[in-house]
A and B are shown apart, each in its own frame.
Chain A
Amino acid sequence: MALIEVRELSKHFYVAKHRRGVGGALRNLFSREYTIVRAVDNISFQIERGELIGYLGPNGAGKSTTIKMLTGILVPSGGTLSVSGLVPWKQRTEHTRRIGVVFGQRTNLWWDLPVIESLDLLKYIYKVPHERFQQNLRNFEKLLGLEEFLNTPVRSLSLGQRMRADLAGALLHDPDLVFLDEPTIGLDVVAKERIRSFIKEINTQRGVTVILTTHDLGDVEKLCKRVMMIDHGRLLLDGPLSELQERFGGERELVVDFAEDYPEISIDGASVIAREGQRVTYRFGRGMSASELISKLASRYRILDLTVREPEIENTVRRIYEERLLSHTSSAIREK
């Protein structure tokens, strides 16, 4: 059985509609209208031990809601889920012993205490043997550069430092599964890099299964083989990152340096988008392979050099969301 099994999982929130004005307020007292928000809408997936999953989606897509169900702090409205054989919300205490959780916007550490004191507290909370605790702490100190602020109260840490401390805290009890909800949100490039390499390290060296939610493509590109993409509560895509590019990468570009100034350079199936002297840039769709285009060109002209440009993954994802390449129905329907 897979480590995580999710079948037709949904979470709907009922949000009371707010009527405006005094009359509205009075009417609110007697009858309430609700809007159903389908935060997670009928999604299914399986995750195997040792995977590092990127759970990707824009703000409000339903990422945190999914994580909350997987960690046992939300009961699904429909569908089933099990994590290492447990139903998280039913066996929450048992479940929490085995997992590590970081919600990027919250902290597991105590505001007024030096970092080391909070970490020490976690040792008692998870009943980590002292030896093991020391060993892990030394290891994380090195990987995350904790020494410089171990004795600083959490309230005086920068966001990046706090996140590093929180990550250490989530892993001190050797969980084999961790949920990281937007661990890089609001961080600068350097801090992001540090956290990414740590995540990579615990996944490859310790075999920890990691589920990482993010709306930062950099995280996914650097870390994850498998991407799950969610929007409006629907799972749009679940597969390797390369597949994403192949299916939705849109048009690619070919930059060619010709040996001489040809007056006529147009070619079927590709359009010229730039021309500077002998350097010409073509754009071509997924209908034609790069080699096909190159051989066509080579049969007519003398070519000095060429490069194929893949579209930026960021653009690909933006295109998926903006142009709704993967259809989904409207997510909020009004009901009385």
Chain B
Amino acid sequence: MVYLALFQKSFQRMIAYRGATIAGVLTNFFFGLLRAYVFIAVYQASGRAYIGGYSLRDAVTYTALTQALIASINLWSWWEVLRLIRSGDITTDLTKPYHFFSSWLARDLGRAMFQLIFRGAPILIFFPLFFELTWPGSLLHWAFALLSILLAIMISFTWRFFVNLAAFWFVDAMGIGRFAYLTMTFMSGFTVPVAYFPDWLKFAVNLTPMPSMVNTPIEVYLGIVRGTDLWVALGVQIFWFVLMTLLCEFLYRRGVQKLIIQGG
């Protein structure tokens, strides 16, 4: 199948970036240590065992996980579709008999899978040399955590794709995009868990797909979300993926219509 082939080639393509992968792992790892020590200091200073329902060990694990997922969820930089539109190279996609959105989703999942393995796993393997981490208690728990991570990557793709589509309408789409990515970094619960947010902000971000991209899979992994809540969390992720996909498809069609009528 074409989408499977795209997934596979995209995974394979990442092998060309061996150097960047190694450098990335080192950077993410050391920033992870740094962030973990900040959490330790905060917990010690506050004298509390739990903050927002997170024990210190959970908070450190949270740090390790966010650092491990940075590359695959691709929080800060993904401009492939934007560049395609801006350079006009999108014509090569438009002359191919596949579905544009799906083809890029497949390519992004191939990339993300590579980075989950080669940039994510090493961090989880080496973090325990410095700190004790929380681990899922059962195989089933692992399966749910991985499912939630997969959904998070897919939702983050729809978000990035959506941001990139701005290039159809705005010359300065990259500026807009940078701002959007920055917002996502904070609102998704990457910087600190959403549980630490003041109530009004927690309420606000929960109305957006942001927490589904980072916060949800981590809380599933930590077992903070469990039982019925787990099903609700996965349901919310699926809801956002479907909704964002429809939105992207709608906007993409408008964009292409404009492109083929006005000529870019």
A interface with B by C-beta (< 8 Å): 11, 13-14, 39, 65, 68, 71-75, 89, 92-94, 96-97, 99, 101, 103, 106-108, 110, 112-113, 117-118, 120-121, 124-127, 153
Contacts and interface: CB of A to CB of B under 8 A. Distances in A.
Residue in B9, B96, B263 whose Cβ sees the most chain A Cβ within 10 Å: B263
Contact of A71 (B1, B9, B95): B95
What are the nearest 6 A-B pairs in CB distance?
A: A124-B5, A112-B16, A124-B2, A97-B97, A112-B13, A101-B95
Residue in B2, B6, B13, B91 whose Cβ sees the most chain A Cβ within 10 Å: B91
A117 B12 contact: yes
Interface string B87-122: 011011011111000000000000000000000000
Tell me whether chain A's interface is mostly helix, strand or loop, or mixed: mixed
A13 B2 CA distance: 35
A106 B91 contact: yes
A125 B2 contact: yes
Given A103-B92, A125-B98, 5 more contacts: A13-B262, A14-B262, A68-B91, A73-B91, A75-B260
Interface string B2-35: 1011100100110011000000000000000000
Contact of B9 (A11, A39, A113, A127): A113
B236 to A, nearest CB: 33
A73 B16 contact: no
B95 A121 contact: no
Contacts of A92: 94
A97 B97 CA distance: 6
Contacts of A71: 95
A315 B96 CA distance: 39
A121 B92 contact: no
B45 interface: no
Interface residues on B, range: 20 to 34
Contacts of B97: 93-94, 96-97, 125-126
Nearest to B6: A121
A153 B16 contact: yes
Interface of B: 1-2, 4-6, 9, 12-13, 16-17, 88-89, 91-92, 94-98, 260-263
A73 B95 contact: yes
B263 A13 contact: yes
Contact of B263 (A11, A112, A124): A11
A206 to B, nearest CB: 20
A65 B260 CA distance: 11
Given A93-B97, A113-B9, A106 B260 contact: no
A73 B262 contact: no
Nearest to A64: B91
A125 B16 contact: no
A133 B240 CA distance: 40
A106 B92 contact: yes
Contact of B92 (A65, A99, A108): A108
B92 A89 contact: no
A113 B14 CA distance: 9
A106 B6 CA distance: 19
A106 B93 CA distance: 11
Contacts of A94: 97
B17 to A, nearest CB: 8
Contacts of A120: 5, 9
